[in-house]
Structure 1
Amino acid sequence: MQISLKHYFPLFKFRICSLITFSAVVGLIATSSDSVSISNVAFLILATMMASSAASAFNHYFDMDIDAVMKRTQKRPIPSGSIDNSRKPLFVAAILFIAAIFVSFNALNYMVSLHLFLGALVYAVVYTVWLKRKSWLNIIIGGLAGSFAVLAGGASATPEFCMTPVLLAVTMFFWTPSHFWSFAIVHREEYAKAGIPMLPVVIGDSKTARYILLNTILLVISSLLPSYFGYLGIFYTVTAIGLGAFFIIRNIQLLSNTSKEIAWKNFKASMVYLGVLFLAVIVDVIVR
């Protein structure tokens, strides 16, 4: 039984789900006007992890055919044969998803449930089923899944409309293409082999690098909107400017050299960018 359960764990993409959950917590902290409720944080983490894990498990099941083609994903549980290709992952995904909606609705509020539902829907259905194999726009629209996590966090502080989580969700939206297109440059041949129209497959690495730079400029501008409208303070502003300059420089390096090595460095830089930026949100809220 322990071996069987161990084989199921990779279905949940815990690193990605942890990033999504961290984004939700940032949304909660940024929206809270008073002290943050520990119980709210705990229930938000639980519900977001379950919802994102459910969407990830569904993604593993639906993509088992292309995962078997790409070397990067051949060792995932279903294509590797660690677990069979029956509908067990779908059952696990359904249980986790229902549990996430139940916990968020009863322990938090209906708006948290709605945002978690929409986030899972976008990733599992809009991205995985509809767009991933059909359009280079897949990751742009699919990136809304992460934005809904931020909105879920904001809603856990108050179900009423608040601008701070909306602006952070916009930042998350613009971050995703710069992050994933860099990754797609590194794995362009594998995506092409599997018939997945990621942007570098469709237009090549050089043009993709230009799109990445353009998108990152929009990302940096969006990251400064919370400061411009007065929702976050000087610590966040200085950090956002510094991180933006750092990431744009990385993008320019990729523009001049689209090798896999530089693309991978840009991909890693995008992770540093978002992690430190969202940490700056938390610190700014604490020190203000």
Structure 2
Amino acid sequence: MTFRQVSELVKLRIGIMIAATAVTGYAAVADELRTAPALLLALAMLLGSGAAALFNHVCDRDIDRLMSRTRARPLATGLVRPADALGLAGLLMATAMTVAVLAFNWVVALHLFLGAFVYGIVYTVWLKRRTWLNIVVGGAAGSFAVLAGAAAVEPTRWLLPALLAVTLFLWTPSHFWSLAILLADDYRAARVPMLPVVAGIGRTAWAILFNSVLLVASSLAPWLLGVAGPAYAIAAGAAGLLLLGLNLALALRPGRKLAGWNFAASIPYLLVLFAGIVVDRHW
């Protein structure tokens, strides 16, 4: 496998987001930010995410061939053998678990494993081809990253990380359903029951808005419960209002253009929440 093929198979951009999520969980409970633990945590999560992504590619290689966005992926084209991808996935996961246990504790390793398991088995194998709820349940995969980051400091300090995990869980449908509107034709061709395929773009747009109301409410819970301060509240409130405004525009005028804007805004929204936690806790 070439470096380019590996970087595509491990879904590097998603891995970086997972690593950032874990570091945010670390920052949420740490009294002092230290570079070495944060980097080791990010490495473990990046490796674990890469392993889960490789497994996802192996399982989805048949439907990847049917979608214009994915038909050039290395496993879909046959440039990489499934056995080689699975071997690399096993190596990455074993390394990630080893780093998590040796550098931190078994709770971090458990959360890392559970995140990969939910994405690889629960989402990819069990739900993706069966129900439109696939991404709703599968969204729990990202939540384990923030719990792993918090456990790297102190596994018993659970309230703020748990609230952030709920927010991450609710973020995934709003983020992914916007993308699914853009890719509805691809999913329809591959017979994957994503919400826009099952319910249409209009109903999906309203589902995004409803979900985001819950998302923004959950994002303010740390401030309302007194475990986050005004800096975080301002960041969460301002970002939430912008996201809801875009969601409402999409619900009123459903279409690909506004779906693209909603998808593009969802990632900065999450990064603003991450930054708000770090600033609130450490500056």
What band does the TM-score fall into relative to the shorter chain?
over 0.9
C-alpha distance in structure 1 between counterparts of 2:171 and 2:3, whole Å: 34
* 1:135-284 aligned within 5 A: 135-284=131-280
Which TM-score applies when normalising by structure 1?
Answer: 0.96
C-alpha distance in structure 2 between counterparts of 1:20 and 1:257, whole Å: 32
SS state of the match for residue 87, structure 1? helix
- Give the corresponding residue for 1:8: 6
- Give the corresponding residue for 1:31: 29
* Per-residue deviation, residues 62-118 of structure 1 (Å, max 9, x unmatched): 1000001000011211123332x3311000001101111111011101110010010
C-alpha distance in structure 2 between counterparts of 1:162 and 1:133, whole Å: 34
* 1:105-120 aligned within 5 A: 105-120=101-116
C-alpha distance in structure 2 between counterparts of 1:146 and 1:86, whole Å: 25
Which TM-score applies when normalising by structure 2?
Answer: 0.98
**Is the 1:119–1:149 Cα contact (8 Å) retained in structure 2?**
yes
Aligned residues: 283
* 1:15-94 aligned within 5 A: 15-32=13-30, 34-83=31-80, 85-94=81-90
State the shift of 1:272 in Å: 1.4
State the shift of 1:262 in Å: 0.8
C-alpha distance in structure 2 between counterparts of 1:159 and 1:239, whole Å: 26
**Is the 1:30–1:154 Cα contact (8 Å) retained in structure 2?**
yes
**Is the 1:43–1:108 Cα contact (8 Å) retained in structure 2?**
no
Q: Which contiguous aligned blocks of 4+ residues in structure 1 show a shift greater than 3 angstroms?
A: none
SS state of the match for residue 224, structure 1? helix
- Give the corresponding residue for 2:124: 128
Amino acid in structure 1 at the alignment position of 2:13: R
C-alpha distance in structure 2 between counterparts of 1:148 and 1:86, whole Å: 27
Which consecutive residues of structure 2, in runs of 5 or more, have no partner in the other structure? none
State the shift of 1:42 in Å: 1.6
C-alpha distance in structure 2 between counterparts of 1:37 and 1:252, whole Å: 41
Cα root mean square deviation, aligned? 1.1
Which consecutive residues of structure 1, in runs of 5 or more, have no partner in the other structure? none
Amino acid in structure 2 at the alignment position of 1:36: L
C-alpha distance in structure 2 between counterparts of 1:247 and 1:7, whole Å: 34
- Give the corresponding residue for 2:92: 96
SS state of the match for residue 69, structure 2? helix
**Is the 1:136–1:202 Cα contact (8 Å) retained in structure 2?**
yes
C-alpha distance in structure 2 between counterparts of 1:144 and 1:162, whole Å: 16
Amino acid in structure 2 at the alignment position of 1:216: S
**Is the 2:167–2:215 Cα contact (8 Å) retained in structure 1?**
yes
